[in-house]
């Protein structure tokens, strides 16, 4: 009996904590932009300077550790990059011509692409503290005209979208996150599909691609920008990593490797764009 009395108080404390957690969860599920959201934004604002200092001080150590861990990968990557550079030189002239053609087509069709969309440059200051979320924090927020759901791009293409904003900070959910989806279009056929993130190391999966669609390996995939899409049309997303038809299935199995190196993001641009 003595044992049960000793154990009663910790159990009661635990019960209170569980009830508090459940209350918080309930409020969070029902809350939307209430006090809890403000509390989270405030915490992020307060911690950011400390994170910045600690991160800057320890970054060299992190670089050393990553260098040791990924030495083999870096050597392989260097060789691959050298090969790609040679290819890129050869393709540059061709690309210039294609660009001229593209500009001419745009003029004819009077389309408005990302180039005309106002944007906010931002620096990536940290990643979110979870092994289950793929997101980064940037140093711009509502004070700079950023709002939730705005698309985020880098020079290479789509990075993700804004999921949380405070006055001077925003969280960008990366396109490889498991909860991220974007409508895409294959540049050669014009067919569309929906690309979904599958984690840091895996290519995105593209669903709803008709089995008859011709998909080329390394083909460029861009945002479809269909009606009410959360992203403007034509932003590069990635290149086709694999595409195969399975007998008996209506859809082609396609994966796309993002163009942006999401592991080494330093600067991004937030497009001040919303579906209209």
Partner 1 sequence: MESAVMPRWLRAGIVVLVGLVLHTSVFPQLRIAEVRPDVMLLLAVLGGLAAGPQVGAVFGFACGLAVDLLLQTPLGLSALTFSLIGYGVGAFQGVLLRSALWLTPAVAAAASAIGVLAFALVGAVLGQAHLITPTVFSVMALVAVLNAVLALPAARAVTWALQEDDPT
Which residue in the set 62, 67, 115, 216 belongs to the binding site for partner 1 (CB under 8 A)? 62
Distance CA 124, CA 48 (A): 12
Which residue in the set 67, 121, 145, 199 belongs to the binding site for partner 1 (CB under 8 A)? 199
163: left (phi over 0), alpha (psi -120 to 50) or beta: alpha
Contact 241, 203 (CB under 8 A): yes
Output 63 or 101, the one with its CB closest to partner 1. 63
Draw the binding track, 253-272, toward partner 1 (x: CB under 8 A; -: no contact): ----------x---------
**How would you classify the pairing of strands 267-271 and 119-127?**
antiparallel
Which residue in the set 69, 81, 105, 212 belongs to the binding site for partner 1 (CB under 8 A)? 69
Output 40 or 144, the one with its CB closest to partner 1. 40
Output 66 or 78, the one with its CB closest to partner 1. 66
Using rule CB under 8 A, residue 18 touches partner 1 = yes
Q: Retrieve residue 55's tokens.
A: 């991160």
- Residues in contact with partner 1, total (CB under 8 A)? 54
Residues numbered 80-139 forming contacts with partner 1, rule: CB under 8 A? 126-133, 135
**Which of the stretches 11-19, 113-121, 213-221, 238-246 binds partner 1 when contact is defined by CB under 8 A?**
11-19
**How would you classify the pairing of strands 119-127 and 220-223?**
unpaired
Using rule CB under 8 A, residue 149 touches partner 1 = no
Distance CA 151, CA 161 (A): 4
Q: CB count, 10 Å around CB of 123?
A: 12
Contact 243, 252 (CB under 8 A): yes
Using rule CB under 8 A, residue 38 touches partner 1 = no
**How many CA atoms within 13 Å lie on the side-chain side of 37?**
14
Q: Retrieve residue 80's tokens.
A: 């691959």
**What residues line the site for partner 1 (CB under 8 A)?**
7, 9-10, 13-14, 17-18, 20-25, 27-29, 36, 39-40, 43-44, 47, 50-52, 54-55, 58-59, 61-63, 65-66, 69, 126-133, 135, 163-164, 171, 173, 178-179, 199-201, 263
């Amino acid at each position: 009996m003595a044992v049960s009395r000793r154990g009663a108080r910790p159990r009661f404390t635990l019960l209170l904590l569980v009830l508090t957690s459940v209350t918080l969860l309930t409020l969070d599920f029902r809350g939307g932009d209430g006090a809890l959201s403000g509390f989270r934004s405030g915490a992020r604002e307060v911690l950011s300077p400390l994170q910045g200092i600690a991160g800057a001080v320890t970054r060299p150590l992190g670089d050393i550790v990553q260098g040791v861990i990924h030495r083999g990968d870096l050597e392989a990557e260097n060789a691959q990059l050298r090969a790609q550079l040679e290819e890129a030189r050869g393709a540059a002239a061709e690309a210039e011509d294609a660009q001229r053609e593209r500009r001419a087509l745009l003029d004819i069709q009077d389309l408005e692409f990302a180039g005309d969309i106002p944007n906010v440059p931002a620096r990536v200051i940290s990643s979110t503290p979870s092994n289950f979320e793929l997101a980064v924090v940037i140093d711009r927020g509502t004070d700079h005209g950023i709002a939730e759901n705005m698309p985020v791009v880098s020079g290479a293409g789509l990075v993700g979208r804004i999921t949380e904003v405070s006055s001077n900070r925003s969280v960008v959910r990366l396109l490889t996150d498991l909860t991220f989806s974007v409508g895409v279009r294959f540049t050669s056929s014009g067919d569309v599909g929906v690309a979904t993130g599958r984690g840091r190391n895996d290519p995105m999966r593209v669903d709803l691609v008709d089995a008859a669609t011709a998909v080329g390996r390394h083909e460029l995939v861009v945002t479809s920008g269909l009606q009410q899409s959360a992203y403007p049309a034509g932003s590069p997303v990635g290149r086709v990593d694999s595409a195969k038809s399975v007998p008996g299935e209506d859809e082609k199995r396609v994966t796309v490797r993002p163009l942006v190196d999401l592991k080494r993001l330093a600067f991004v641009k937030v497009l001040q764009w919303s579906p209209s």
